[in-house]
Amino acid sequence: MITMKIDGRIVQVTEGATVLEAALAAGIKIPTLCNLKDVNKIGACRMCLVEDARSGKLQASCVLPASEGLEVLTATPKVLNARRAVLELILSDHDRSCLTCKRNHHCELQTLSEELGITDIPFQGEHIVKTIDEISPSVVRDNNKCILCRRCVAACEKTQGVCAIGMQNRGFKTQIGSIFGKSLDEVACINCGQCIAACPTGALTEKDATKVVWEALANKDKFVVFQPAPAVRVAIGEEFGMPIGTRCTGKLAAALRRLGADKVFDVDFGADLTIMEEGTELLERIKNGGTLPMITSCSPGWVKFCEHFYPEFLPNLSSCKSPNQMQGAITKTYFAEKNGLDPKNIFVVSVMPCTAKKFEIDRPEMGRDGYRDVDANLTTRELARMIRQAGIDFINLPDESFDEILGDSTGAAVIFGVTGGVMEAALRTVADILTGEDLESLEYHAVRGLDGIKEATVNVNGMDINVAICHGTANAAKLLNSIKAGEKNYHFIEVMGCPGGCVTGGGQPYVDARTRYFVDPRAARAAATYSEDEAFAIRKSHKNPSIKKLYDEFLGAPGSHRSHELLHTHYVDRSKK
């Protein structure tokens, strides 16, 4: 432990910590913009300046190591004036259309301006009109609102291993962009939205789908079906002031109904369906000498990452569509047939924690007969905006249930939203199938947790099944490289494109940099997910009576010809694009 002084207070901190971390741990607030825990620590924005009590020098606390006997001051006139000057310079070249910005009231730059009492901008900025890239189906970049903090660049490079964006030009012409001035849609962007989650301002946002959804709701000829993902219910409450990780399943269903949905289904049903198809595929590959390891295909960001950077592993990907797409396909076939509806008049709206889903729904293979499996994808944030626009009092909504039968699910489905969840749900079913028993053991703790890469060997009925779980595509790259090098051997791998899994997808509620030092949204939302799983009476996908009914009445059996037509897909080698 190191002992130092901050504002005259004795503070002890672990060796290797920065002064910023020491201050935050002691409850002393220091403003930041470029700093983001575990992602970006470069001292570029200079907002976190502190004064050395002995020399009077100003230093960036986010990169200043805490050292024995060091004394710093965080709120002297010298420090405060320097911070204000830095902030005023940033604002001088910033598009200050705050009232019409999607990040209004969720902007870290806006919050700091209020905290530091900025009432005037004395500097006349250059005000160069910069690039707005809105070609991508998932991500919109408005460089007029960019403060060059580089958090998005770090997230793309370090967390995701994609490197689709970087710094360009110099001086006032500096901006973030892709190689040769290309759009994000023209490079190897995987649409994961982690750059959006990292951004402190409105420079990065998701491609808006609220207008098309409002239009569908107003169209009397459209039968509008909403289907939220499992990760949405443990996050949407944050948009309305609830603590991170609050379970809002019943309120979510009620809100969607009040928006005007004709039916409110649940992608958890699609998750249970995925386990049936994916589990069957895994067993067939193991028994019949198929391509191993089999790798999950639920995360569209991960799938696109594989298509761009590891096309040699495309045969390893499960042929299963994601739960979202399966749900849409069944809605427009089985449900439509049962209710005498024309699939072309059904408008399916997915509510996802994910921005890559906006790309996924437009893939050519995700539809048939002139219609798409899913028509629109809203992020959790977009749904929250619609709820506010409709004047719905979310917090005081009663708890309501999803509509039968495509709203029926199990505990295994809800854990799909967290890293390790797909693996655990699959093991619950595969274990029962291999033993021919209804095993009492439900929880596979070896596949849980937030380690970037996890490994386990599960013995089922005398068979050792080697599994691996990773989250964040940079970790996926490490895992795949170890397999290519012959260092690892697995039967089944779960990959989630976003760190922590879907619970911290690129479309989830913003968590500012300061909060991230005290609360890990991955852990808080995951805990809520496991809590919801425990509350279910049925916790295995193959025990879902509505899933059994679907197979009896329509699909026949997992892996059947009809199942393959509707629920399975193929992939594209994008390595040369």
Active site residue ranges: 278, 281, 298, 318, 357, 360, 365, 502
End-to-end CA distance of the chain: 51
Q: Would you tell me how many other CB atoms lie within 10 Å of the CB of residue 413?
A: 33
Tell me 308's DSSP state: H
Do 304 and 574 contact (CB within 8 A), yes or no? yes
SS3 content of the chain, % helix, strand, coil (to 5): 40, 15, 45
**Cis bond leading into 293, ω under 30°?**
yes
Strands of 404-521, DSSP E:
453-460, 463-471, 492-496
State both tokens at 509: 């509620």
Q: What is the residue-wise DSSP string for 53-121?
A: TTT--EEETTSSB--TT-EEESS-HHHHHHHHHHHHHHHHTS---GGGSTTTTS-HHHHHHHHTT----
Q: Would you tell me how many other CB atoms lie within 10 Å of the CB of residue 172?
A: 12
The residues, any chain, with a CB within 8 Å of residue 402's CB and separated by 6 or more, are 253, 264, 265, 266, 408
Stated length of the chain: 577
d(CA 522, CA 472): 12
d(CA 197, CA 155): 9
At 409 the three-state DSSP class reads coil
At 392 the three-state DSSP class reads coil
Q: What is the residue-wise DSSP string for 171-224?
A: GGG-EEE-GGG--GGGTT-----HHHHH-SSSSEEEPP-HHHHHHHHH-TT-EE
d(CA 514, CA 66): 19
The residue assigned the tokens 């970087």 is 166
State both tokens at 569: 């897909």
d(CA 13, CA 18): 9
At 51 the three-state DSSP class reads strand
Compute the CA torsion angle 258, 259, 261, 263 (nearest 10 deg): -40
* Strand bridging mode 204-206 / 376-379: unpaired
Question: Residue 39 — φ and ψ, nearest 5°?
Answer: -125, -55
Nearest to 76 by CA among 38, 46, 49: 49
The secondary element (H helix, E strand) that includes residue 168 is: strand 166-168
Do 450 and 500 contact (CB within 8 A), yes or no? yes
State both tokens at 422: 């797909």
The residue assigned the tokens 């005259």 is 8
At 509 the three-state DSSP class reads coil
**Cis bond leading into 405, ω under 30°?**
yes
